[in-house]
Chains A and B, each alone.
Chain A
Amino acid sequence: MVALLEIRNLTVSFDTSVGLFHAVEGIDLSVDAREVLAIVGESGSGKSVEMLAVMGLLPSTATVIADAMTFDGKDLLGMSRAQKRQIVGKDVAMIFQEPMASLNPCFTIGFQLEEVLRFHLGMQKAQRRERAIELLTQVGITRPAERLRSFPHQMSGGECQRVMIAIAIACNPKLLIADEPTTALDVTIQKQILDLLMALQARTGMGLIMITHNIGVVAETADRVIVQYRGHKMEESDVLTLFTAPKAAYTRALLSALPDNATGDRLPTIGDFQEAQS
Chain B
Amino acid sequence: MLRFILNRLVLVIPTFIGISILSFGFIRLLPGDPVDVLSGEHTMTPERHAELLHQFGLDRPIWQQYLDYLGRALHGDLGVSLSNHHSVMEQFLQLFPATIELSVCAMIIAIVLGVVFGMLAASRRDTWVDQITMGGALVGYSMPIFWWGLLLIIVFAAGLHWFPVQGRMDLAIFFKPTTGFMLIDSLLSGQKGAFLSAVQHLVLPSIVLATIPLAVIARQTRSAMLEVLNEDYVRTARAKGLREGRVTAIHAFRNALIPIVTTIGLQVGTLLAGAVLTETIFSWPGIGKWMIEAIGHRDYTVVQGGLLMIAIMVMVVNLVVDLLYALINPRIRIQ
Contacts and interface: CB of A to CB of B under 8 A. Distances in A.
Direct contact of A and B (CB under 8 A): yes
Interface of A: 55-57, 84-90, 93-94, 96, 98, 101-107, 115-116, 119-120, 151, 153-154, 164, 167
Interface string B234-277: 01111111110000000100110000000000000000000000
A86 B254 contact: no
B232 interface: yes
Given A98-B232, A104-B236, A153 B241 contact: no
A104 B242 contact: no
Nearest to A167: B240
Top-5 shortest CB links A-B: A89-B241, A89-B240, A88-B241, A101-B232, A104-B233
Contacts of B251: 104, 107
Contacts of B328: 106
Contacts of A93: 239
A85 B235 contact: no
Given A85-B242, A104-B251, A167-B240, 10 more contacts: A55-B239, A84-B241, A85-B243, A105-B233, A105-B330, A105-B331, A107-B251, A151-B330, A151-B331, A153-B331
Contacts of A164: 236
Given A101-B231, A102-B232, A106-B255, A89 B239 contact: yes
B74 interface: no
Given A106-B254, A106-B255, A151-B330, A115 B235 contact: no
B236 A103 contact: yes
B334 interface: yes
A250 B232 CA distance: 32
Contacts of A101: 231-233
A176 B334 CA distance: 33
Contacts of B233: 101-105
B238 A57 contact: yes
Contacts of A90: 241
Contacts of B240: 88-89, 115-116, 119, 167
B193 to A, nearest CB: 47
A57 B239 contact: yes
Contacts of B254: 104, 106-107
A71 to B, nearest CB: 13
B236 A154 contact: no
Interface in B203-244: 231-233, 235-243
A115 B240 CA distance: 9
Contacts of B243: 85
A151 B330 CA distance: 7
B239 A88 contact: yes
Contact of A94 (B231, B239, B242, B334): B239
27 contacts: A55-B239, A56-B238, A57-B238, A85-B242, A86-B241, A88-B239, A88-B241, A89-B239, A89-B240, A93-B239, A94-B239, A96-B235, A101-B231, A102-B233, A102-B235, A104-B233, A104-B236, A104-B255, A106-B255, A106-B328, A107-B251, A107-B254, A115-B240, A119-B242, A151-B330, A153-B331, A167-B240
A43 B231 CA distance: 20
B334 A154 contact: yes
B241 A96 contact: no
A38 B41 CA distance: 93
A24 B240 CA distance: 24
Of A102, A104, A154, A164, most buried by chain B (CB within 10 Å of CB) is A104
A269 B334 CA distance: 48
Contact of A153 (B235, B236, B237, B330): B330
A56 B334 CA distance: 35
Contacts of B241: 84-90, 116, 119-120
A115 B236 CA distance: 12
Contacts of B237: 104
Nearest to B253: A106
A96 B236 contact: yes
Contacts of B238: 56-57, 88
B215 to A, nearest CB: 27
Nearest to B254: A106
A198 to B, nearest CB: 21
Given A153-B331, A154-B334, A105 B255 contact: yes
B329 to A, nearest CB: 8
Nearest to B125: A60
Contacts of A102: 232-233, 235-236
Contacts of B329: 106
Nearest to A104: B233
Contacts of A106: 254-255, 328-330
A49 to B, nearest CB: 13
Given A151-B330, A154-B334, A89 B242 contact: yes
Interface in B278-313: none
B245 to A, nearest CB: 11
B172 to A, nearest CB: 52
Contacts of A120: 241
A87 B232 CA distance: 20
Nearest to A89: B241
Given A101-B233, A103-B233, A106-B254, A151 B334 contact: yes
A93 B254 CA distance: 24
A246 B232 CA distance: 36
Contacts of A115: 240, 242
A151 to B, nearest CB: 5
Interface in B316-335: 328-331, 334
Nearest to A84: B241
